[in-house]
Chain A
Amino acid sequence: MKMHLDEKIWLALSFGIMMIFMLITGYQAVAEGMAPPSNIQTIDSQKVDQTAPFDKPGIKQIGDHEYEVVMTLQVFSFNPGNIEVPAGSTVHFILTSKDVVHGFEIAETNANAMVTPGYISRVTQKFDKPGSYLVLCNEYCGAGHQMMSTTITVK
């Protein structure tokens, strides 16, 4: 198979671009902590209310400007809702679903995770700017999916 020089250059560039993509993605995930939420922890989705820590959903301060939110997702709500944290806080979300697959997205941030029944998802987000952040379910979960939202108020 004969190949023109410019075709070889194109293919080498294409291959190079893919490799660079892979290297940067891999480097950022491993070295800079930009890995996708990949928590591996299971739970009985029918006994969420009786299983710690989800028997007591809520927000808890665990350090200086550091909070932990234990949250359950169910049709069509987040529990707890309407959380408030001071600006500059880092919040660790521990999430699980009591019924179907839900999504956990904080609009205008990079926090985004699937919350599937039987598994516990973990997401960490730092809130620097004060304001009202919209939290919404981004996985279709039923007739009231468009109403499933809450807010995080950063003061």
Chain B
Amino acid sequence: METAINQTFKTKATKLLGVNKEDAKISKTYLFVSFVILLVGGFLGLAQGLNRAGLLELPSWLNYYQVLTMHGVFMLLAFTTFFTFGYLYAGLSHELGGLLPKVRKFVWTAFASKIIGAVLVVIPILMNEASVMYTFYPPLKAHPMFYIGLVFFAVGMWLCNVGAFIQVANWRKNNKGKHVPIFSYFATGINVLMFFALIPVAIEVLYLIPWSLGWVKTVNVMVSRTLFWAFGHTLVNIWYLTATSAWYVIAPKLIGGRRWSDTLTRVVIIALVIMNITGGFHHQIIDPGISLPVKMMHVFMSLAIGFPSLMTAWAMFAVFEKTARKQGGKGLIGWYKKMPWGDVRFLALFISMASFAPAGAGGIAQTTNQLDTVVHNTMWIVGHFHLTLGVTVALAFFGISYWLVPYISGRVLTPQINKLGVIQTWIWTIGMIFMSGAMHTVGLFGSPRRTSFTTYGDHATALGWNPYMMAMAVGGTLLIIGVILQVYAVINMMFFAPRGETEFPIAEAEENASPTPYWTERWGLWIVVMLLVVAMAYVVPLTEFIVNAPPGSPGFKTW
């Protein structure tokens, strides 16, 4: 009886209070910044696409490589980071009964740190003092301000991680023996992975600062590359894991179903956290200075990451089919008619998921060393990450925005905006099919990435690539329309849509679920396992690079 009253009271309280005002402000600010960055980053992407196709000559004060560096930093680092934390903190607040005041301070400090960092990074790029790409491989030497900005940005990310840890730890203290609710469990995994992935790149950047200031003469190139990729590839997988959280937790609710096995979900998260950091090394498959056995071990370690994603693929389609059949869906594939295709929140998530089938398969293909040799540093790679990040991650984030933004703004998703969203999703998908498809194909023929318009002295091979560049430009043009529609929808839902209550759609566990074993909560253990795997992967090559290092490289400004 008492519990029943308690529960009614709780539901009523939630209904009455809705979203916590102060927490909503956090998420709103993060998401607003995120979509403004998307808008700017989108136009930078368009400029690149048109230049590469030979349709647009960029001015000397904003050349192709500046634009490319900014597009990469904006989209890979900033858009994603701000969105992820806006989303995760909204979920943590919703699921764990509001953020602690201490945690809010962490998140706001983090926000300031990230904004300062972003400004410090952008200024030298605009001054053409840091055209070093998102990867900033030494011995390309950027202005010290660029690296200092990166430190501020990383500190901001760390503060957000720690804030989430405090929030979850506090809940666990007050709910001894209970499982952390599923959304917060995802948030924990994402934050753990990010916290540790940032360490190698932070070490790199910290020793690049004195080098760029001229206090240290030379730098170890291979150590820098290795530390970068331990972070660089993990980062994109962190955004993937964020998208995955919406597939597992949100999508079933949107179609009126329940989640897939709670245990399997948590096992997938643990597996992705443990295995991910070692995946970065496959970016160095054709680097010199690394022995074949080490490379083969890394190829295997990278391939292993494919397994949890295949588990996910199963779980998702099983949920769809189960739910659709319950609603009267029939036939081997006829059940798909029961899915809410006109609901942008579902449609965007579904395409996000479906696109990971070719994206993941391409990833597995290019991880094997023979195929990597064919496509390494070609446009294929650019096609690959526009499929993974540009579709799988971006569309998941867009899909989330159609309920998250109204939720934190105390507004509702109107049928008009829903319709706009459906159109946006299709424009985006078609644009990406054009662009990514052309990139993959021309990459197989050898067209290099990160290269402004060129015909290599009208060489026949290079001239043969031009039609694909046109297809890329067409795709890019569709995508900018998509960006504008998306940003318009977000601004509308944030400030102008009718007021009302929007639900944070977290699906419930499946019926008659067997209890989830408690070992899934042992993060201490999983972190130790992760560190062991990382050590197995990196101790040997890093020691080799340091002990048998060639004389270091002085810095170069070649742009």
Give me the interface of A with B, judged by CB distance under 8 Å: 1-4, 7, 10-11, 14-15, 17-18, 21-22, 24-26, 28-30, 34-46, 75, 99-101, 103, 105, 107-108, 110, 112-122, 132-134, 136-147, 149, 151
Query: In the bound complex, what is the Cα–Cα distance between A120 and B548 (angstroms)?
Result: 14
Given A1-B261, A112-B376, A36-B286 contact (CB < 8 Å): yes
Which A-chain residue is minimally distant from B555 (CB atoms)? A100
Query: In the bound complex, what is the Cα–Cα distance between A15 and B261 (angstroms)?
Result: 19
Contacts of B20 in A (CB 8 A): none
Query: In the bound complex, what is the Cα–Cα distance between A43 and B225 (angstroms)?
Result: 18
Contacting B448 at CB < 8 Å: which of A22, A37, A117, A138?
A: A138
Interface residues of B in 260-316 (CB under 8 A from A): 261, 263-264, 284-292, 295-296, 299-300, 303-304, 306-307, 310-311, 314
Which B-chain residue is minimally distant from A131 (CB atoms)? B460
Query: In the bound complex, what is the Cα–Cα distance between A139 and B449 (angstroms)?
Result: 8
Q: Which of B107-115, B364-372, B478-486, B489-497 touches A?
A: B364-372
Residues 225-244 of B, flagged 1 when their CB comes within 8 A of A and 0 if not, give: 10000000000000000000
What are some 25 contacts across the A-B interface (CB < 8 A)?
A1-B261, A10-B314, A18-B304, A22-B300, A26-B300, A29-B292, A35-B369, A37-B286, A37-B373, A103-B377, A107-B447, A107-B462, A108-B461, A114-B376, A117-B139, A118-B553, A119-B550, A132-B461, A134-B461, A136-B456, A138-B377, A140-B133, A143-B131, A145-B65, A149-B457
- Asked if B451 and A145 make an inter-chain contact with CB atoms under 8 angstroms apart, the answer reads yes
Contacting A146 at CB < 8 Å: which of B285, B446, B451?
A: B451
Contacts of A15 in B (CB 8 A): 307
Query: In the bound complex, what is the Cα–Cα distance between A83 and B461 (angstroms)?
Result: 17
Query: In the bound complex, what is the Cα–Cα distance between A120 and B550 (angstroms)?
Result: 11
- Asked if A134 and B303 make an inter-chain contact with CB atoms under 8 angstroms apart, the answer reads no
Give min CB distance, B279 to chain A, whole Å. Answer: 14
- Asked if B550 and A21 make an inter-chain contact with CB atoms under 8 angstroms apart, the answer reads no
- Asked if A38 and B378 make an inter-chain contact with CB atoms under 8 angstroms apart, the answer reads no
- Pick the 6 closest A-B CB pairs, nearest first: A142-B558, A118-B550, A107-B446, A42-B550, A14-B310, A138-B448
Contacts of A26 in B (CB 8 A): 296, 300
Contacting A138 at CB < 8 Å: which of B263, B378, B457?
A: B378
Contacts of B195 in A (CB 8 A): none
Contacts of A114 in B (CB 8 A): 284, 286-288, 376-377
- Asked if A38 and B446 make an inter-chain contact with CB atoms under 8 angstroms apart, the answer reads no
Query: In the bound complex, what is the Cα–Cα distance between A144 and B449 (angstroms)?
Result: 14
- Asked if A119 and B288 make an inter-chain contact with CB atoms under 8 angstroms apart, the answer reads yes
Query: In the bound complex, what is the Cα–Cα distance between A2 and B263 (angstroms)?
Result: 10
Query: In the bound complex, what is the Cα–Cα distance between A89 and B551 (angstroms)?
Result: 35
- Asked if A118 and B461 make an inter-chain contact with CB atoms under 8 angstroms apart, the answer reads no
Given A35-B292, A37-B288, A110-B374 contact (CB < 8 Å): yes
Contacts of B445 in A (CB 8 A): 107-108
Contacting A117 at CB < 8 Å: which of B221, B368, B454, B548?
A: B221
Interface residues of B in 12-69 (CB under 8 A from A): 63, 65
- Asked if A45 and B551 make an inter-chain contact with CB atoms under 8 angstroms apart, the answer reads yes
- Asked if B374 and A40 make an inter-chain contact with CB atoms under 8 angstroms apart, the answer reads no
Interface residues of B in 152-192 (CB under 8 A from A): none
- Asked if A101 and B369 make an inter-chain contact with CB atoms under 8 angstroms apart, the answer reads no
**Residues of B within 8 A of A (CB-CB), count:** 73
Contacting A18 at CB < 8 Å: which of B291, B306, B551, B554?
A: B306
- Asked if A100 and B558 make an inter-chain contact with CB atoms under 8 angstroms apart, the answer reads yes
Contacts of B461 in A (CB 8 A): 107-108, 132-134
Known: A29-B370, A116-B289; 5 extra A-B contacts, CB below 8 A, are A40-B548, A101-B140, A118-B549, A133-B461, A142-B131
Give min CB distance, B467 to chain A, whole Å. Answer: 16
- Asked if A40 and B291 make an inter-chain contact with CB atoms under 8 angstroms apart, the answer reads yes
Query: In the bound complex, what is the Cα–Cα distance between A112 and B447 (angstroms)?
Result: 12
Contacts of A40 in B (CB 8 A): 288-291, 548
- Asked if A1 and B514 make an inter-chain contact with CB atoms under 8 angstroms apart, the answer reads yes
Which A-chain residue is minimally distant from B309 (CB atoms)? A14
Query: In the bound complex, what is the Cα–Cα distance between A34 and B222 (angstroms)?
Result: 23
Contacts of A142 in B (CB 8 A): 131, 140, 556, 558-559
Query: In the bound complex, what is the Cα–Cα distance between A11 and B454 (angstroms)?
Result: 46
- Asked if A29 and B303 make an inter-chain contact with CB atoms under 8 angstroms apart, the answer reads no
Contacts of A3 in B (CB 8 A): 261
Q: Say if the beta carbon of B466 comes within 8 Å of chain A.
A: no
Q: Say if the beta carbon of B452 comes within 8 Å of chain A.
A: yes
Query: In the bound complex, what is the Cα–Cα distance between A42 and B264 (angstroms)?
Result: 47
- Asked if B222 and A118 make an inter-chain contact with CB atoms under 8 angstroms apart, the answer reads yes
Query: In the bound complex, what is the Cα–Cα distance between A46 and B550 (angstroms)?
Result: 11
Give min CB distance, B316 to chain A, whole Å. Answer: 12
Contacts of B222 in A (CB 8 A): 116, 118-119
Contacts of A21 in B (CB 8 A): 303, 364, 368
Contacts of B558 in A (CB 8 A): 75, 99-100, 141-144
Given A118-B222, A118-B552, A34-B446 contact (CB < 8 Å): no
Contacts of B304 in A (CB 8 A): 18
- Asked if B65 and A140 make an inter-chain contact with CB atoms under 8 angstroms apart, the answer reads yes
Give min CB distance, B217 to chain A, whole Å. Answer: 10
Q: Say if the beta carbon of B426 comes within 8 Å of chain A.
A: no
Which B-chain residue is minimally distant from A75 (CB atoms)? B558
Give min CB distance, B43 to chain A, whole Å. Answer: 21
Given A99-B558, A117-B221, A146-B451, A7-B377 contact (CB < 8 Å): no
- Asked if A116 and B287 make an inter-chain contact with CB atoms under 8 angstroms apart, the answer reads yes
Give min CB distance, B558 to chain A, whole Å. Answer: 3
Contacts of A143 in B (CB 8 A): 63, 65, 131, 558-559
Give min CB distance, B273 to chain A, whole Å. Answer: 19
Query: In the bound complex, what is the Cα–Cα distance between A22 and B299 (angstroms)?
Result: 8
Contacts of B462 in A (CB 8 A): 107, 134
Residues 193-223 of B, flagged 1 when their CB comes within 8 A of A and 0 if not, give: 0000000000000000000000000000110
- Asked if B290 and A136 make an inter-chain contact with CB atoms under 8 angstroms apart, the answer reads no
Contacts of A17 in B (CB 8 A): 310
Query: In the bound complex, what is the Cα–Cα distance between A105 and B517 (angstroms)?
Result: 51
Query: In the bound complex, what is the Cα–Cα distance between A17 and B300 (angstroms)?
Result: 12
Contacts of B370 in A (CB 8 A): 25, 28-29, 34, 36, 110
Q: Say if the beta carbon of B385 comes within 8 Å of chain A.
A: no
Contacts of B457 in A (CB 8 A): 149
- Asked if B373 and A36 make an inter-chain contact with CB atoms under 8 angstroms apart, the answer reads yes
- Asked if A2 and B514 make an inter-chain contact with CB atoms under 8 angstroms apart, the answer reads yes
Give min CB distance, B118 to chain A, whole Å. Answer: 22
Which A-chain residue is minimally distant from B553 (CB atoms)? A117
Give min CB distance, A129 to chain B, whole Å. Answer: 13
